Amino acid sequence: MIDTSAYPLLRKILKPSDLHGLTHKQLHQVAQEVRQAILDNVSKTGGHFASNLGTVELTVALYATYSTPPDIVCWDTGHQAYPHKMLSGRLDQFDTLRKYRGISGFLRRSE
């Protein structure tokens, strides 16, 4: 399991709606922590950096604005979904990314 203490605000986000009501400054901090968590973990587990780093602010903005569910966000590729995985309660498992019995490197409905 990942040590989530390096991500003090992000570790409190267990579902996208947890972003509702955060200040602009807090949303910016969440985005910074997501970006850092991607860098910290993908450098060890392997995976896609650029496409995921490019969707951090987009994902934070979507989830801070919309209510998922019932609103639907459709990602066109799993290579952009690491921020989604972190913002939906899987930060503590992120070090298992792309490992046997770990979280998937792509979007998987069963997760």
Please give the angle made by the CA atoms of 57, 62 and 64, to the nearest 5 degrees: 95
* pLDDT single digits (tens) 1-53: 788 899 999 999 999 999 999 999 999 999 999 999 999 999 888 888 899 99
Say what the pLDDT of residue 106 is. 80
Say what the pLDDT of residue 46 is. 82
Helix residue ranges per DSSP H, 1-111: 24-45, 50-53, 56-65, 82-85
Collect all residues with Cβ–Cβ distance below 8 Å to 64 and sequence separation of at least 6: 19, 20, 22, 27
* C-beta neighbour count of 27 within 10 angstroms: 17
Domains and CATH numbers, the chain: 9-96 (3.40.50.970)
Q: Are 90 and 3 in contact (CB under 8 A)?
A: no
